[in-house]
Amino acid sequence: MATKAPLPPRGVLSLWTGTPMFRPHRGALLVTTLAVSLARRVFPEVEFVTDTGGAFLARLLGWQFGQVNLALDRLNDPGLAHIWALGKFYALLEQSGPCVQFDGDFLIFKPLRAKFLEGRLVAQSPDYPAFYRGPAMERGREILGFTDPNLPAYNAGVLGGRDVALVHDYAFASIALAEKFRDLDREVNGTATSMLVEQMHLGVFARRRRAAVRILLPESPTRRQVALAGISHLSGGNKRHPYYVERVENRLRREFPEALEEFESGWRVMEGKAPGWLFAAAHCERQGKLSSPPSNVFAFDF
Amino acid sequence: MSVPVLIKRRTDPLEIAAHVEKLARRYNLGTVGLTGRHAIGVARESDPLEIFVVVPLDAATMFGAALAEAFCGWVHVYDCNLVSWAHSLHLCVRWLNVDALPVVECPRGAVTVWTLEHEGGTVSARVALESVPHFRPVDNPRPKPRGAFSRGFGPPPVGGFLV
């Protein structure tokens, strides 16, 4: 009896603009433009799970997706707003089939290995244990009960898997853990919290559920291994560093000139605007109060 | 598009110096100095690369990132004009792309004591700071301005070289 070929996974990008951790930086948005353009080449479909602000941003900057899902509009709890990884968990819960969620700074230059995509749970690589030390991390680990010094953590530049139920279980459990950090942003900052409930929790969850996490790369990959995997992860400040922004721009110019042109045209509208502009413009548009983006916003009422 | 070159022998001073020289020229930094453990060939694999520049640190941003990528590790770039004469980094510098050595004031008559390991034992040597090529002895060296005198680059992002 012929077996059916497994469904190729959907590519998923999430962006929660409602978290105070989101800042529209030109370099970071340019990297996401390249990430989206590349992902469309390797996934049969790419879904964008976001909020109203994110959907507006995508239209303005010319990001093209098979589907745009506004599930993150429901995230409006100020006590948890600092935990930016929440957007990723809710994006996973929106999936009803195998998926690979990639970060906006994760570039996929060639199709991901079939063996990797068969994983029930998948992630980029083991993460460096040193990243989970320091006062904020120790306090966060204490809150979660993750005090074993040998707990594994995974870099979630890509995150997802073939086992939808398992992926959902992980996402639900992560959301529950995030609750423990309600209103604790002064004690444990949003980035440390997000790394713990997403990346370290993935290691803890996989261990408890006795599920292997398929990885693309080892903890300290060689350049050859990285070249074979065909990915770049411009994590942290690298996506804003002029050295990498210039390279990303050159790559877009060579391979996706229309995408670069659309980005530049949209960025010219956004550049120099007040911090609340994106949020206000998106909501005005949604309420039908605008036919084109406003030049600026000085005051708004909701 | 130029592809960042990998420094294959990460503890070889000559190989490192060649790459530093090339990148410094590409980014118009003028004279630069390879210093620290890598300059004298006693670096371990995990040691960061330490470089003196004679331009403001902002002007060395692209250079620092490119070098961190070629070196596959941490690079510390120091503004030579802002590093105190008392810092040990001044003592062993391999100057590259030299059009003019930087000038750093040091106290007239100051000496430093070097402790060297030699054949299982230690040897001490007193070295006059005036013998350091880029030092100029003065009676009252001007204090350095307060503030950042160095910047770290790296480690390079996973797959940065593929972009």
**Which of B6, B66, B160 is the closest to A234 by Cβ?**
B160
B41 inside 8 A of chain A by CB: no
- Across the interface, whether the CB atoms of B1 and A227 are under 8 A apart is answered no
Quickly list DSSP for A152-217: --EEEEEEEES-HHHHHHHHHHHHHHHGGGTT-TTTS-HHHHHIIIIIIHHHHHHHHTT--EEESS
Residue A295 pLDDT level (bands cut at 50, 70, 90): low
What is the model's pLDDT at position A32? 98
Average pLDDT over residues A285-289: 68
- Tell me if the bond preceding B155 is cis, omega within 30° of 0: yes
Residues of A in contact with B160 (CB under 8 A): 232, 234, 238, 244
Residue A291 pLDDT level (bands cut at 50, 70, 90): low
Greater pLDDT, A256 or B121: A256
Task: Report pLDDT digits (tens) over A181-218.
Answer: 999 999 999 999 999 999 999 999 999 999 999 999 99
Residue A300 pLDDT level (bands cut at 50, 70, 90): very low
- Across the interface, whether the CB atoms of B163 and A230 are under 8 A apart is answered no
Lowest pLDDT segment from A73-77, A92-96, B1-5, B134-138? B1-5
Q: Which residues on neighbouring strands pair with residue A160, listed in sequence order?
A: A100, A122
Distance CA A94, CA B16 (A): 50
Lowest pLDDT segment from A1-5, A114-118, A147-151, B129-133? A1-5
Assess whether pLDDT exceeds 90 at residue B118.
Answer: no
**What 3-state DSSP class applies to A292?**
coil
Average pLDDT over residues A130-138: 93
Task: Report pLDDT digits (tens) over A6-15.
Answer: 678 999 999 9
Average pLDDT, chain B: 90
**Which of A226, A243, A250 is the closest to B158 by Cβ?**
A226
Distance CA A136, CA A189 (A): 7
B133 inside 8 A of chain A by CB: no
Q: Of A95, A91, A99, whose CA–CA distance to A71 is shortest?
A: A91
Chain A nearest CA to B131, separation (Å): 38
Distance CA A224, CA B6 (A): 12
**Contacts of A33 by beta carbon, 8 Å cutoff, 6+ apart:** A61, A62, A63, A252, A256, A259, A260, A263
**Which of B72, B158, B160 is the closest to A244 by Cβ?**
B160
What is the model's pLDDT at position A298? 43
Average pLDDT over residues B138-157: 90
Strands A154-161 vs A121-126: parallel, antiparallel or unpaired: antiparallel
- pTM: predicted TM-score of the whole model, two decimal places: 0.88
Assess whether pLDDT exceeds 50 at residue B8.
Answer: yes
Residues on chain A bordering chain B, Cβ-to-Cβ distance under 8 angstroms: 107, 109, 124-125, 157, 217, 221, 223, 226-227, 229-236, 238, 241-244, 246-248, 250-251, 254
What is the model's pLDDT at position B23? 95
Supply the angle between the helices A26-42 and A52-61 in degrees, to the nearest 10: 80
Buried b (16+ CB within 10 A) or exposed e, A139-154: bbbebbebeeeebbbb
What is the model's pLDDT at position A282? 78
| ipTM at complex level | 0.87
Write out the E strands in chain B: 32-35, 49-53, 75-79, 94-96, 104-107, 111-118, 121-128, 135-138, 150-153
Assess whether pLDDT exceeds 70 at residue B133.
Answer: yes
Distance CA B63, CA B76 (A): 11
What is the model's pLDDT at position A197? 97
Residues of B in contact with A219 (CB under 8 A): none
What is the model's pLDDT at position B1? 42
- Across the interface, whether the CB atoms of A244 and B161 are under 8 A apart is answered no
A140, A85 Cβ separation under 8 angstroms: no
B92, B35 Cβ separation under 8 angstroms: yes
**Which of B1, B69, B158 is the closest to A221 by Cβ?**
B158
What is the model's pLDDT at position A1? 56
What is the model's pLDDT at position A108? 98
Average pLDDT, chain A: 91
Q: Which residue of B has its CA nearest to A216?
A: B158
Other CB atoms within a 10 A radius of the CB of residue A44 amount to 11
Average pLDDT over residues A27-35: 97
Q: Which residue of B has its CA nearest to A253?
A: B1
**Contacts of A201 by beta carbon, 8 Å cutoff, 6+ apart:** A144, A146, A170, A173, A174, A177
Helix extents (H) in chain A: 26-42, 52-61, 86-93, 114-117, 135-144, 164-178, 190-194, 201-208, 223-229, 242-255, 257-270, 277-286
Residues of B in contact with A238 (CB under 8 A): 156-157, 160
Q: Which residue of B has its CA nearest to A157?
A: B158
What is the model's pLDDT at position A301? 37
Distance CA A179, CA B52 (A): 48
Residue B10 pLDDT level (bands cut at 50, 70, 90): confident
Assess whether pLDDT exceeds 80 at residue A297.
Answer: no
Pick from B5, B75, B163 the residue to mutate for testing the A interface (most A CBs within 10 Å): B163
Average pLDDT over residues A80-96: 97
